[in-house]
Amino acid sequence: MTHKLVLLILMAVQLLLAGSKDEYLILISWDGCRWDYLNRGLTPNIQNLIESGVKAESLQPVFPSKTFPNHYSIVTGLYPENHKIVFNNFIDPRTEEGYRRGKNDSSIYEDKWYGGETLWMTAKRQHVKSACMFWPGSETYEKSPDYFRPYDHYLSHQKRIDQIIDWLEMDEEKRPHFLTLYFADADDAGHKYGPDSAELNNTLMRLDSTLGVLLFRLKKIGLYDKTNIMMVSDHGMTQIYEENSIDLTAALQGINYKRNGNDPVLTFFVEGEQRQELYTRLKKMEKGFKTFRKSDIPDRLHFKSSNLIGDIVVMADPGYYFYNPNWKAGKGAHGFDNALPDMQGIFVARGPAFKQNYKTGPVKNIDIYPLMCKVLDLQPNSSIDGRLERVSDVLR
Ligand code: AMP
Ligand code: ZN
Ligand code: ZN
């Protein structure tokens, strides 16, 4: 046999073995669940998972610490500058076409916005089925998982759990082995009432009891012992003070610009001499925010090499927000520097792939994609920012 043929046979065997494990992975996101919410003694079902599984001190989001960039980094292992979902909403300044997640906007279905390879695409390549009970980036025409539900903010917890169980009860050849499950409740309550409110604490208890229902039902259908559960959040939350409003109207007066970004990170596309003019004006009025030329954005933020990021960038300090006449700031916000303690999320995992009663330090959310590939026995996409070796200590 020639060398080439041996190599081919080896590759074929590897492909056949990939994803052949009789195990499941459910990736659960509690949007906006700050790392320390789990220390409040309100989440006994998560506590059970922690005691029989793994807990990281925190899960570090990518910058900006917003919902879409982060959920998409978790499933691609890429920084936003590389996966292209740099904000929750944005325009392509060359074409002026927009990516918006609003109810009556179909742009989130358009494949062209999404870079990288999601875990469900990796799985599909290796003949493993996936299903998303909501996940930013899962609702697309071509790059979607085998099964998904279009986003409905108001779908009850019960119906979300029913859907997960229905998928897991499908015939084996149709059944997904990778599933996602998403809840916006902790983010909603954090924005509206603040991270230290009684309403937020009640929300945590409600989310935890839903988790209890899921675990109970997995046991009932006999799949609990074969299921790896990974609980994550996309970012944390910090208190916002109404008086800390930043009004950029004067700085933008007479400047011809296009804007990308969502509070607390705004970026401006400005041509010619006006670019320096805007930079100088913003620099002069800096209070409660910082101004950068795109080329001067700190490297640690990995937020530079995308043409969706404007030439001049302003970032609010925690507690501050940019005034917008069409929008009222809540009591809590996120999106700030991803190194801030309040922006850190959660990571808890339990199941046959994970160590028991094991604690580890902070985990970066870009490392979750290679970790999930390992758990599912899948060959990961080779060009990613995440690294398995930084997080593999959690595995059995
Ligand atoms: P943020 O503005 O970063 O706090 O985003 C949180 C919000 O994103 C949630 O309250 C949802 O309304 C929205 N969202 C989350 N997942 C999806 C999705 N798959 N499709 C559309 N909107 C979503
Ligand atoms: Zn979020
Ligand atoms: Zn939010």
Say which ligand is closest to the CA of 184.
Answer: 1
Q: What is the mean pLDDT of residues 265-273?
A: 98
Last residue of a domain, one of 309, 333, 357: 333
- Evaluate whether residue 87 is within a structural domain: no
- Is 149 inside any structural domain? yes
263 lines ligand 1 (CB under 6 A): no
Whose tokens are 């742009």? That residue is: 107
Question: DSSP of 165-193, one letter per residue?
Answer: HHHHTS-TTT--SEEEEEE-HHHHHHHHH
Task: State whether 233 and 308 are in the same domain.
Answer: no
The pLDDT tens digits of the residues spanning 216-254 come to 999 999 999 999 999 999 999 999 999 999 999 999 999
**Does pLDDT of 345 surpass 90?**
yes
Residue 277's domain is classified under what CATH number?
Answer: 3.30.1360.180
Q: What b-and-e string marks burial along 93-123, b requiring 16 or more CB atoms within 10 Å of the CB?
A: beeeeebeeeeeeeebeeeebbebbbbbbbb
**270 and 127 fall within a common domain:** no
pLDDT tens digits, 165-180: 999 999 999 999 999 9
- Whether 136 lines ligand 1, by a CB cut-off of 6 Å, is yes
Mean pLDDT of 125-136: 98
Range of the domain at 266: 242-333
123 and 266 share a domain?
A: no
Q: Give me ligand 1 centre to Cα 67, in Å.
A: 6
> Are residues 19 and 123 in contact, defined by beta-carbon separation less than 8 angstroms?
yes
User: Residues 43-59: what's their mean pLDDT?
Assistant: 98
Per-residue pLDDT band for 10 (boundaries 50, 70, 90) equals low
> Which of the listed residues 333, 359, 380 is the one where a domain comes to its end?
333
261 & 196 share domain: no
Q: Are residues 327 and 363 in the same domain?
A: no
Q: Which of 67, 118, 267, 291 is catalytic?
A: 67
pLDDT (tens digit, 9 = 90+) per residue, 201-218?
999 999 999 999 999 999
Over residues 34-47, the mean pLDDT reads 98
Decide if 67 is catalytic: yes
Residue 12 has pLDDT above 80, yes or no: no
Share of the chain above pLDDT 70, in %: 95
Mean pLDDT over each residue of the chain, to the nearest integer: 95
* Residue 354 DSSP one-character state: B
Task: Pick the closest to residue 317 from 395, 368, 250, 246 (CA basis).
Answer: 246
Locate the ligand 1 atom nearest the alpha carbon of residue 139 and give its number: 19
Q: Is the CB of 103 under 6 A from ligand 1?
A: no
Decide if 33 is inside a domain: yes
Q: Inform me whether the pLDDT recorded for 1 exceeds 80.
A: no
Verify that 8 and 122 share a domain, yes or no. Answer: yes
Q: Are residues 325 and 347 in the same domain?
A: no
Q: Which of 62, 66, 68 to mutate to test the pocket of ligand 1 (most atoms within 8 A of CB)?
A: 68
Residue bearing the CA closest to ligand 1, atom 3: 67
3-state secondary structure of 360: strand
**Ligand 3: distance of its center to the CA of 2 in Å?**
57
Question: Do residue 345 and residue 290 come from a single domain?
Answer: no
In this predicted structure, the answer to whether residue 15 has a pLDDT above a threshold of 80 is no
Q: Average pLDDT for residues 353-382, to the nearest whole number?
A: 98
Could you tell me if 346 and 233 lie in one domain? yes
The Cα 288–Cα 260 span in angstroms is 20
DSSP β-ladder status, 321-322 and 245-246: parallel
Percent of the chain with pLDDT over 90: 91
Report whether residue 67 contacts ligand 1, using a CB cutoff of 6 Å: yes
Considering the domain boundaries, does residue 130 fall inside one? yes
Nearest atom, ligand 1, residue 335 CA = 3
Task: With respect to residue 201, please indicate whether it lies within any of the assigned structural domains.
Answer: yes
Domain presence at residue 43: yes
Can you give the pLDDT at residue 9?
A: 62
The answer to the question of residue 66 being in a domain is yes
The residue whose CA is least distant from atom 12 of ligand 1 is 153
Looking at the 3D structure of the chain, how many domains does it have? 2
Check pocket membership of 234 for ligand 1, CB cut-off 6 A: no
| pTM for the whole structure | 0.95
Three-state SS at 200: helix
Taking only the tens place, the pLDDT of each residue in 286-332 is 999 999 999 999 999 999 999 999 999 999 999 999 998 887 888 99
26 contacts: CB under 8 Å, gap ≥ 6:
164, 179, 180, 181, 214, 227, 228, 229, 230
Same domain flag for 372 and 258 = no
Q: What is the CATH number for 143? A: 3.40.720.10
Is the residue at 88 inside a domain? no
pLDDT tops 70 at residue 155: yes
pLDDT digit string, tens, across residues 52-93: 999 999 999 999 999 999 999 999 999 999 999 999 999 999
Instruction: Classify the C-alpha dihedral 39-387-61-362 as positive or negative.
Output: positive
| Residue minimizing CA distance to atom 14 of ligand 1 | 136
Asked which of 333, 356, 375 is the last residue of a domain, the reply is 333
Residues 144 and 269 grouped into a single domain: no
Ligand 1 test: best mutation among 27, 29, 30, 31, most atoms within 8 Å of CB? 31
287 lines ligand 1 (CB under 6 A): no
pLDDT confidence of residue 328: 81
Query: Is 151 touching ligand 1 by the criterion CB < 6 Å?
Result: yes
Pocket test for ligand 1, best of 67, 133, 321, 324 (most atoms within 8 A of CB): 67
What pLDDT does 62 receive?
98
Nearest ligand, measured from the Cα of 332: 3
Residue 312 and residue 230 share a domain: no
